[in-house]
Amino acid sequence: MIELNFLTALIIGLTGAGHCISMCGGIAAAVTMGMPDKPQQHWIYLLCYNLGRISAYMIAGLIVSQAVVQAATLSNSSSVLILLRILASIMMIILGLYIGKWWSGLTYIERVGHCLWRYIAPITKYFLPLTSPFKAIPFGFLWGWLPCGLVYSTLTWAAVSGSAINGMTIMLAFGLGTLPAMLAIGTVADKLKLLLQNSYFKRGNALFIIIYGMHTGYIAINQIW
């Protein structure tokens, strides 16, 4: 099951990468500020930035999944986990509807994260300009907490994965899915964005995510009965 979870999270990251490019265009400019005038070195900065960003996703996945495991253990009841799985399936369906451009309700969920982000955002300025690849890692880690409905939806799924390792693995897969687009920022981002925003590509993957979410919810509801 973890293999299918990993694959699905990878697809979510890849399919939603067009959204990532739109949100992170300004970040791309910040990453290139202070870089040496050698294009071959720009990849090192981008890799370090994305290493930090994906690390933030993994830590978030570890924290929420471990918290759910602890809550289920303390309550000594499987009902908590079942209800959270139903919530995760609903979030997956909402995510699929968003990616397929059938409903944009996910944007309302992003607003929740702005409460935390307003405290994190000012800290990122201390690492600019990025005069060293090593500064790009903590810079990327902080930007990994940028309010994003795609991340939140995947996090709810990671939360009910059954263990901290599984939750961290799911978020790693999601991060790796976004990596091609994020590495392409500033080079072939426009062409890649056209591919990722192809209606057939997006809606095909969106349907897969919706079906997977419905399947997850069906299994959870059956456990109640």
Side chain identity at residue 38, one-letter code: K
**How confident is the model at residue 138, as a pLDDT?**
95
In percent, the amount of the chain with pLDDT more than 90 equals 27
The secondary structure of residue 102, as a DSSP letter, is S
Highest mean pLDDT among 72-81, 138-147, 179-188: 138-147
**How confident is the model at residue 32, as a pLDDT?**
63
What is the C-alpha separation between 9 and 68, in angstroms, rounded? 19
Question: What's the mean per-residue pLDDT of the chain?
Answer: 82
What is the C-alpha separation between 207 and 117, in angstroms, rounded? 31
Mean pLDDT, rounded, for 83-93: 89
Checking if the pLDDT of 162 tops 80, the result is: yes
